[in-house]
């Protein structure tokens, strides 16, 4: 049956009401709104309701754009939310997670995908790269609060800053999988090492610093009052910074994800205590919530209508091992000797939430090269994200509350 306009509007209305009510209704409970959104989407897929269908596998370009916008909006939001200035010692937990936990996750998942799930080497590497980053979209329950809110203990800070940076730093390994699908390492190894692994990271950071500094000077320090939008509390500037920094970085060949997050950090560092940062963050939070709602509903609908058809028990085992063994173990190794209490380190190691970014990387890579068994890749990623949504969604509130009580 074709979707009618009436059904589309009714569905949109119900979804928006859920987005408004569920976060308040489920606050502090062992059941996250993300679980509810996915469940509603799956229910809609099982019922004989004429809804519009967007299959992530066949509508790859649409999936890529939707997830791309959601991730960059979330990256700007988490960058603005961080109260702690950037520094080697202050961000010690972040550097540990990026330098130790993420490479270990990529290597372990790639090996499991090849040795357990039987994927081709290029496909296994893509699976590891796509599932390695923690997600800035679905991890709000274990992240810092609004700018200046004071919810910035070591666990929340580490998970938030890690999610802000590793979405961009996983991109070199996605490119490695793309190149491996096209030819042997000898043909592209040096280019990958010099440009994809180093060059694009540096360009992305530099663009982020420049874009954030220019926008901060305009918003807070412009000579003409009409340009000092911080005084008028104009929120739409947040999206302008997102798209400008991302578009500029991509135009010059850098990693846009990194540029967006870095520009947010630079912007926040300028007039750090100004209330305008809260205005920008609040606006982005609303946009992110709407995008996340739509994507989770589509994910539930897609999983109920065939996205998991290529999942094997071996592929499912890879997802289970990542969520319950690989990430906790690699996070624990990364945090050995690091800051924080034992409980905070355990939370940091365990809450490696997988989510929207994984679908973006998969959609991007499969549009650039042919990967053997790409149907199974989509199924394994979808299953892993669903597992993460359930496991981390159920445990987030109790664990965070327990940590808060211990600190009190």
Per-residue model confidence as pLDDT tens digits over 7-24: 667 767 777 777 777 666
Q: What is the pLDDT of residues 205-246, one digit of tens each?
A: 999 999 999 998 888 876 665 556 667 777 888 899 999 999
Could you give the number of structural domains in the chain?
Answer: 1
In this prediction, residue 170 has a pLDDT band, given cuts at 50, 70 and 90, of very high
d(CA 58, CA 278): 39
- 3-class state of residue 224 by DSSP: coil
Angle subtended at Cα 355 by Cα 338 and Cα 291, rounded to the nearest 5 degrees: 125
Average pLDDT score over the chain: 87
Taking Cα atoms as reference points, which of 169, 165, 106, 160 lies closest to residue 322? Answer: 106
| Cα-based torsion angle of the residue sequence 44, 50, 51, 56 in order, rounded to the nearest 10 degrees | 90
- How far is 124 from 110, CA to CA, in rounded Å? 5
**For the ranges 162-166, 259-263, 385-389, 401-405, which has the lowest average pLDDT?**
401-405
% of the chain at pLDDT higher than 90? 52
Q: Give CA–CA dist 174/181, Å, rounded.
A: 11
Q: What is the DSSP letter of 119?
A: -
pLDDT given at position 380: 97
Q: Kindly tell me the sign of the dihedral angle through the C-alpha atoms of 90, 283, 355, 107.
A: negative
Tokens standing for 237?
């500037």
Return the percent helix, strand and coil in the chain, to nearest 5. 75, 0, 25
Determine the pLDDT at residue 220.
83
Helix, strand, or coil (residue 326):
helix
Q: Please name the residues in contact with 187: beta carbons below 8 A apart, sequence gap of 6 or more.
A: 179
CA 96 to CA 325: how far, in whole Å?
A: 18
Report yes or no: 358 and 121 within 8 Å, Cβ to Cβ: no
Residue with tokens 């994927």: 119
Closest of 191, 159, 127, 141 to residue 26, by C-alpha: 141
Give the domain range for residue 381: 5-407
How sure is the predictor about 68, in pLDDT bands with cuts at 50, 70 and 90? Answer: very high
Most confident of the following: 44-53, 140-149, 384-393: 384-393
Instruction: Specify the CATH number for the domain of residue 176.
Output: 1.20.1530.20
The answer to whether the CB of 252 falls within 8 A of the CB of 203 is yes
Can you give the pLDDT at residue 311? 94
So what's the pLDDT on residue 1? 44
Select the more confidently predicted residue: 56 or 176: 176
């Amino acid at each position: 049956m074709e979707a009618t306009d009436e059904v589309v509007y009714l569905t949109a209305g119900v979804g928006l009401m859920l987005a408004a009510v569920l976060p308040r209704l489920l606050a502090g409970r062992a059941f996250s709104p993300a679980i509810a959104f996915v469940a509603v989407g799956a229910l809609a897929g099982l019922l004989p309701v004429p809804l519009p269908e967007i299959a992530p596998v066949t509508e790859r370009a649409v999936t890529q754009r939707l997830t791309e916008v959601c991730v960059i909006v979330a990256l700007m939001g988490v960058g603005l939310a961080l109260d702690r200035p950037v520094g080697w010692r202050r961000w010690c937990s972040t550097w540990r997670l990026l330098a130790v936990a993420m490479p270990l996750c990529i290597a372990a998942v790639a090996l499991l995908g090849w040795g357990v799930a039987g994927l081709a080497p290029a496909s296994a590497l893509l699976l590891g790269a796509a599932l390695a980053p923690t997600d800035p979209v679905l991890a709000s329950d274990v992240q810092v609060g609004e700018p200046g809110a004071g919810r910035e203990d070591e666990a929340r800070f580490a998970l938030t800053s890690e999610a802000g940076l590793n979405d961009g730093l996983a991109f070199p390994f996605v490119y490695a999988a793309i190149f491996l699908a096209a030819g042997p390492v000898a043909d592209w190894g040096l280019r990958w090492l010099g440009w994809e692994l180093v060059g694009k990271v540096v360009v992305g950071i530099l663009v982020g610093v420049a874009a954030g500094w220019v926008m901060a000077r305009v918003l807070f320090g412009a000579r003409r009052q009409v340009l000092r939008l911080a005084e008028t509390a104009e929120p739409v500037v947040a999206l302008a910074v997102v798209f400008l920094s991302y578009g500029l970085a991509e135009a010059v060949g850098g990693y846009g994800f990194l540029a967006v997050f870095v520009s947010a950090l630079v912007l926040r560092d300028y007039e750090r205590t100004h209330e305008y940062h809260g205005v920008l963050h609040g606006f982005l939070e609303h946009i992110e919530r709407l995008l996340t709602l739509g994507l989770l509903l589509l994910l539930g609908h897609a999983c109920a209508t065939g996205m998991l058809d290529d999942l094997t028990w071996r592929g499912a085992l890879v997802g289970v091992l990542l969520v319950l063994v690989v990430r906790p173990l690699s996070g624990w190794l990364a945090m050995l000797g690091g800051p924080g209490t034992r409980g905070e380190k355990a939370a940091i190691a365990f809450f490696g939430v997988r989510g929207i970014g994984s679908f973006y990387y998969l959609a991007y890579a499969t549009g650039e090269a042919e990967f053997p068994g790409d149907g199974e890749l989509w199924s394994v990623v979808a299953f892993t994200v669903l597992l993460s949504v359930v496991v981390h969604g159920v445990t987030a509130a109790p664990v965070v509350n327990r940590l808060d009580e211990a600190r009190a």
